[in-house]
Chains A and B, each alone.
Chain A
């Protein structure tokens, strides 16, 4: 189940959040190595705590939301935003490669693993 939800497509969607995670990680590392003001348990502890807490919170929320979104994607038909329940709306197959939905090219979208509909 997990593996199915977090397939290549989903991971690709999540890259957008991996970047800020990476930036925070970079600064955690950088400040661990370079400490121009020295180390002091209270101040340095708070410094790392802010970054670590943010890292974890973002990681957890990204995981949970990806599970909800990608899970529903596999489970039910996917529509463009604002079109679920619209009469005559064409479902999007699997992924929202927006470029593909504009024309009638949706047939050649290449995600074979999409089980929607």
Chain B
């Protein structure tokens, strides 16, 4: 059945691709899109001047960085929902020491949860902010390569379908989802070729590897575009000394992607070849170590690919609600660059327990200790920015503060893991899971929410409901800390990670972690409702400065662009008499000096 399943799948994919290609040639006159559209007269192409087409065609053909930013955002949020539902199912499974779903299903969910959150949510949601905002902030007309920008995005949906393929194929009786975990360690992942007899997903693993490869290509294309944009498209006044911290972090992130992702791509191709074409890259002596080295040379930079731009968002947004500029701005810039370099010298801290040469191991410990400094420096800068600031606890600010708090726990646990003797005890326990979830959920997702709330008015022209935003924050903050602190304790107790079952003594902490996860889940339901209803029915923002940043002199350029947009729109759709209740800002423009505690209750309903 394996062979016939694969053949039928291939045929299906082929038909699908041809259908898409045919359709695409019909919807648009592609000649008008070529940069030298039909010969010498560049002007004729003119996608810039023309009105955007209406409806769905607009979204399928857009090369406008703002539209692509929105597409990335919707994509990332979709993936967040999928990955979130997966993990909710897993946490419910873990309420009892026996697996309710069955271990195979659990392993499939585990694998897809990790990959979905890292590759389909994390990277794209950052690209969403970067696409929408960076051209506005650095004074560029658009990205350096607008069409390539669109291509980079459109590679992602098929990547997601491939990565999730096993879940769609399973009900059809074809093949199941990959069960390799996100690290895809060999020999488990070499399947039948390596002796694991493909207990871990068969063609589902191949599909996932192809999908990952595709998403890697997309990410790399995007990174090149950001590097080109930030280097060449900056406005006249935006010198290196004036470049904002978010652009700096995205530039560094793009550099990391450029060096790390091609390596992942090569490793994936080698693994595919081992599985299907009889090569033996990972089957001969040392093959398993080779995989781990290749994977983590990509894998460690990947975690900074995710966290750096999110640190950038926090460094950009947090000072707005502290009423002052970021403390030690250049410290943050230089430490960002330091992290960028050093993240390539620490990968084997994920391999301390493999039995590699102890001398080699120590050097990775040394560099891991060194990389903790720049992260700590940033943390001190955020705290110092808050110190004596005029703090307004709006929803984005709450998420920024939550970020700092959670990142401290995530970072400190990381430094402990970077110490070889400690790691030998804690490796492959829930402590590690707790460590990185404090960073990926507690920090990365929090910064994402901070950004989403902060720029919600900019993108939608409407304000979200502040009270729901605060409920979302508190539920997420409390739930995150319950869940992942329980995991740290589980790790101290010796609970190994990646198991669908456990010994009875771990039951209460596991149940606590599930409780926390359910609290997070409720929080996200509120968030989702808030976003959807506010997008369509939220109160319109009429001021170009909905956060009242100008009062403190901390307004920034993207809101000036927003003001221009508002001015040009006003003529067409005036008429709504509702006053705008901004979250933490003043309700009436002439009501002057929104004092620090004017929020949150006064203007929520």
Contacts and interface: CB of A to CB of B under 8 A. Distances in A.
A99 interface: yes
B30 interface: no
Contacts of B554: 80
Given A62-B338, A82-B558, A76 B237 contact: yes
B139 interface: yes
Interface residues of B, number: 56
A21 to B, nearest CB: 8
A69 interface: yes
Contact of A98 (B324, B334, B364, B366): B324
B476 to A, nearest CB: 27
B370 A24 contact: yes
Nearest to A30: B366
A23 B238 CA distance: 34
Nearest to B335: A16
Contacts of A109: none
A72 B241 CA distance: 6
Contact of A47 (B334, B359, B373): B359
Contact of B359 (A44, A81, A96, A101): A44
Interface in A1-57: 13-14, 16-17, 19-21, 23-24, 27-28, 31, 35, 37, 40, 43-44, 46-48, 50-51, 53-54, 57
A78 B340 CA distance: 25
B242 A46 contact: no
Contacts of A112: none
B330 A96 contact: yes
A71 B238 CA distance: 13
A85 B557 contact: yes
Contacts of B239: 72-73, 75-76, 78, 84
A115 interface: no
A80 B137 CA distance: 12
Contact of A19 (B242, B330, B359, B373): B373
Contacts, number: 181
Given A82-B316, A96-B329, A102-B325, A27 B366 contact: yes
A90 interface: yes
Chain A contact-residue range equals: 35 or more
A5 to B, nearest CB: 11
Contacts of B323: 102
B262 interface: no
B158 interface: no
A16 to B, nearest CB: 5
B334 A16 contact: yes
B245 A81 contact: yes
A66 B331 CA distance: 11
Given A16-B338, A58-B338, A72-B239, A40 B359 contact: yes
A78 B244 CA distance: 11
A80 B377 contact: no
Interface string A60-103: 01100110111111011111111111110010100010110110
A85 B136 CA distance: 11
Given A48-B363, A98-B324, A65 B237 contact: no
B557 A82 contact: yes
Nearest to B357: A43
Interface string B361-382: 0111011011101100100000
A72 B337 CA distance: 17
A70 B557 contact: no
A47 B359 CA distance: 6
B449 to A, nearest CB: 20
Nearest to A77: B237
A66 B240 CA distance: 10
B556 A86 contact: yes
A57 B241 contact: no
30 contacts: A13-B331, A17-B374, A20-B338, A20-B373, A23-B369, A31-B366, A37-B357, A43-B360, A46-B357, A46-B359, A46-B360, A46-B363, A47-B363, A50-B360, A50-B363, A58-B342, A61-B337, A66-B334, A70-B241, A76-B237, A78-B241, A81-B244, A81-B326, A83-B242, A85-B238, A85-B560, A86-B557, A87-B560, A90-B553, A102-B324
Given A58-B341, A96-B328, 12 more contacts: A27-B362, A28-B366, A37-B358, A47-B362, A51-B363, A51-B367, A58-B342, A81-B316, A85-B237, A98-B326, A98-B327, A102-B324
Interface of A: 13-14, 16-17, 19-21, 23-24, 27-28, 31, 35, 37, 40, 43-44, 46-48, 50-51, 53-54, 57-58, 61-62, 65-66, 68-73, 75-87, 90, 92, 96, 98-99, 101-102
